[in-house]
Structure 1
Amino acid sequence: MERLRIGIIGLGWFGEIHAETIMGVPNLELAALCTRSPGRLAELGNKFNVKKTFTDYNEMLADPDIDAVSICTMWDQHTEPAIAALRAGKHVFLEKPIASTVADARKILAAAKETRGILFIGHIVRFNPRYRMAKQAIDEGRIGRIVALSSRRNIPASWTPTILNKIGPIVGDAIHDTDIMLWFTGDRVVSAYAQTTDVRGLKHPDIGQTMYRFAGGATATLETVWCMPEKTPFDIDERMSIIGTEGIIHVQDTFPNLGIVDNTRLHSPDTTYWPVFDGVRGGALRDEFSYFANCALKGETPTLGTPEDATAALEATIAAEESARTGNVIKIG
């Protein structure tokens, strides 16, 4: 089987998860790693038996034996490596959000249009089979015209102290549901209103509550709480309802589709996005990487995870954060 030789730029906790996932994709070869920390680079180079390691991503991009890169840097550090990788002729798997500003997202999009490599944005929820099934039912016309949507994406406080010093819950997590709502409706967000609540005094607020109006008239509400109690027995409380003129779809994931009770408490771990089996990550993230690899090897432009869709989701969530800061409804477009 033909294989895509891929390197990873950024080796934080999610860069390591990317590596664990790539190891389980038959047509991907984890060929290189890059991070600015020599200690971390050595640690993960040994863990994954990767010989090509770099502290400068430009050196990785100059290697003709690297076909593609996965970029897992912080969201405000996406623009330069993404553009450099595209201009080097690499295929690019760029984690969401596409960038930290709409202007930077558009720069990345422009670079992708001028280069031969494909650009895929890692909006993983589109690879969750429950949302894919919902999309299929919507496309079949089974619920008629969508008129209202609501979502919940809440996670325990223990996950978020470090994250909240880098990104807030609306752009950090509600962007997933924003992307899915744009996908389901095939529409665009024309206004956003949001409120936030600061619980722990970190750089960004712990809670975001968002409302959208779509061009076609549908409305949406999105709940994102990043401070569920420390002893919450599940990793994520994720739900979405889609109400149409002729039917309703309800999606519920993670809580409580698996319960494991040990001598500490009840656990309900992730079984959808990147569960671990025999040391290798599976689930939606593996499906996402398989899709990326297949598109790149076949020379096909992705129809999921497009930079255009990712930019629209970013624009809506940034507008929502502006609304929370100002107290105003923010018009888009």
Structure 2
Amino acid sequence: MKKYNVGIIGYGWVATAHIAAINASTYAHVTAIYSSRPLDDAELSAAWDSPIKTYTKLEEMLADKNIHIVSICGYPYQHKAHAIAAAQAGKHLIIEKPLSLSWEDCLAVEEAVKEANVRTCFCFECRYSSQFIATKAVIDQGLLGDLHYGEIDYYHGLGPWYGQYRWNTRKDAGGSALLTAGCHALDALLLCMGTDVAEVSSYHTQSKNAYFEPYEYPTSSVTILKFKSGRIGKCASIVDCLQPYYFHTHLCGSEGSLLDNKFHSMKLGTDKNTWSTLAMKMLDSGDVTDHPYQSQFDTFFECLENDMDMPLTSLKDAMKTHEIMFAADQSAATGKPVKL
């Protein structure tokens, strides 16, 4: 079994979660970190219990032929340039969300990846959570019948107490309520309902609380999705709420319904007056250390070992979600529905 060497681009909050998950794998370890600020090799090597070489010039790290994979953890507005440079250097890619802050930039990354023929793992890691593995299993087993309505919503107040608040408030860095965080909920909705979206209508607003005044974009949005199959869905992204983190899920089908970790199924004959409970770990924290990177990255490394594409969270999967996000933001900005 090959042991993959991984280089990290950007040494911030999310990078620490990536490094921990990668180093915990039997398939890979982090051997290099690029940061625009100088870092101490010995200090980082001791902190992560493995030899790490640091770089302040990205091209020097990408020139190292011993690095097989690059994990892109820089600011969102840098993702395009970093992903294209890493792909052109022949590195396989782990890419943090969002892919970029414009659809045109996403297409440019996709083209570079195709030309370089490298494999990708995109960090819509909630698809690998216990919550959505169990939810998808309930759907795939037909226990809810044919879904006709679904809503998956993201509630997480990103105020001054949030580690990335200092830059996340900027339009050219955070982008929108969907791009900065609610993308996880929209992506989960597409996982459950399908990607055959015909049209989206979106609206946005913003809290009047002083914590959220610095935001240069509306911090609450709600998007209605009309599917070609006739299904409809709703995704709210509320990053200016004052409440505990909540990843709301409600799916309705011809044979039953699912609400977060509870469900009713006529196929199983469960009591429709009482919810039955599913044993799953809920997505109940926005802390990256609680995200299911471990199982996602292990799957990616196994795919590389077997020369296979990444299931669930390849760049191809991520592109569809981003296309719908940008259409939703366009709808909110113009006040008109957007067809896909």
**Which interval holds the TM-score relative to the shorter structure?**
0.7 to 0.9
SS of the residue aligned with 2:169?
A: helix
* Residue of structure 2 equivalent to 1:278: none
Give, in angstroms, the shift of residue 177 of structure 1: 1.9
Give, in angstroms, the shift of residue 44 of structure 1: 4.4
Q: Match of 1:308, as an amino acid?
A: K
SS of the residue aligned with 1:17?
A: helix
Give, in angstroms, the shift of residue 274 of structure 1: 2.9
Distance 1:174 1:92 in 2: 23
For 1:299-319, what per-residue CA distance to the aligned partner results, in whole angstroms no more than 9, with x for missing partners?
211122121221111111111
From the superposition, tell whether residues 54 and 39 of structure 1 become closer, same or farther in structure 2 (CA, over 3 Å).
Answer: closer
From the superposition, tell whether residues 40 and 151 of structure 1 become closer, same or farther in structure 2 (CA, over 3 Å).
Answer: farther
Alignment of 1:238 onto 2:242: no
Distance 1:152 1:315 in 2: 18
From the superposition, tell whether residues 185 and 221 of structure 1 become closer, same or farther in structure 2 (CA, over 3 Å).
Answer: closer
Give, in angstroms, the shift of residue 117 of structure 1: 2.5
Distance 2:235 2:200 in 1: 11
Q: Match of 1:122, as an amino acid?
A: C
- Residue of structure 1 aligned with 2:296, choices 276, 288, 291: 288
Distance 1:118 1:103 in 2: 21
* Residue of structure 2 equivalent to 1:209: 222
Contact 2:14 2:288 in 1 (8 A): no
Distance 2:97 2:13 in 1: 15
Give, in angstroms, the shift of residue 45 of structure 1: 5.5
Distance 2:32 2:38 in 1: 14
For 1:94-134, what per-residue CA distance to the aligned partner results, in whole angstroms no more than 9, with x for missing partners?
11222222222222222222334211111111101121121
Q: Which runs of 5+ in 2 are unaligned?
A: 263-279
* Residue of structure 2 equivalent to 1:112: 113
For 1:57-111, what per-residue CA distance to the aligned partner results, in whole angstroms no more than 9, with x for missing partners?
2211110111111001222211222122222221111112222222222222222
* Residue of structure 1 equivalent to 2:272: none
Contact 1:174 1:317 in 2 (8 A): no
Distance 1:16 1:40 in 2: 15
Alignment of 1:169 onto 2:170: no
SS of the residue aligned with 2:86?
A: helix
Identity value in percent: 25
Contact 1:188 1:215 in 2 (8 A): yes
* Residue of structure 2 equivalent to 1:3: 3
Q: Match of 1:131, as an amino acid?
A: F
* Residue of structure 1 equivalent to 2:258: 249
Distance 2:296 2:288 in 1: 10
Contact 1:210 1:222 in 2 (8 A): yes
SS of the residue aligned with 1:69?
A: strand
Distance 2:42 2:73 in 1: 18
Give, in angstroms, the shift of residue 53 of structure 1: 0.8
For 1:226-264, what per-residue CA distance to the aligned partner results, in whole angstroms no more than 9, with x for missing partners?
1233xx4x4x211211111222122259xxx99xxxxxx
Contact 1:94 1:122 in 2 (8 A): yes
Give, in angstroms, the shift of residue 147 of structure 1: 0.8
* Residue of structure 2 equivalent to 1:25: 25
Contact 2:185 2:247 in 1 (8 A): no
Distance 1:245 1:284 in 2: 31
Alignment of 1:94 onto 2:95: yes
Contact 1:34 1:41 in 2 (8 A): no
SS of the residue aligned with 1:120?
A: strand
Distance 2:253 2:51 in 1: 50
For 1:284-310, what per-residue CA distance to the aligned partner results, in whole angstroms no more than 9, with x for missing partners?
111111111111222211122121221
Superposed counterparts of 1:1-333, under 5 Å: 1-39=1-39, 44=44, 47-48=47-48, 49-156=50-157, 157=159, 158-159=161-162, 161-162=165-166, 163-165=168-170, 166-167=173-174, 168-199=176-207, 200-201=212-213, 202-229=215-242, 232=243, 234=244, 236-252=245-261, 270=285, 274-275=289-290, 284-332=292-340
Distance 1:238 1:146 in 2: 19
Contact 2:156 2:286 in 1 (8 A): no
For 1:149-208, what per-residue CA distance to the aligned partner results, in whole angstroms no more than 9, with x for missing partners?
112211133326332322121122221122222222233222222222222322122211
For 1:6-29, what per-residue CA distance to the aligned partner results, in whole angstroms no more than 9, with x for missing partners?
010011211122122222222211
Q: Match of 2:192, as an amino acid?
A: F
Contact 1:274 1:286 in 2 (8 A): no
Please say which of residues 286-295 and 173-182 is displaced more in the overlay.
Answer: 173-182
* Residue of structure 1 equivalent to 2:271: none
SS of the residue aligned with 2:222?
A: strand
Contact 2:247 2:284 in 1 (8 A): no
Please say which of residues 220-229 and 62-71 is displaced more in the overlay.
Answer: 220-229
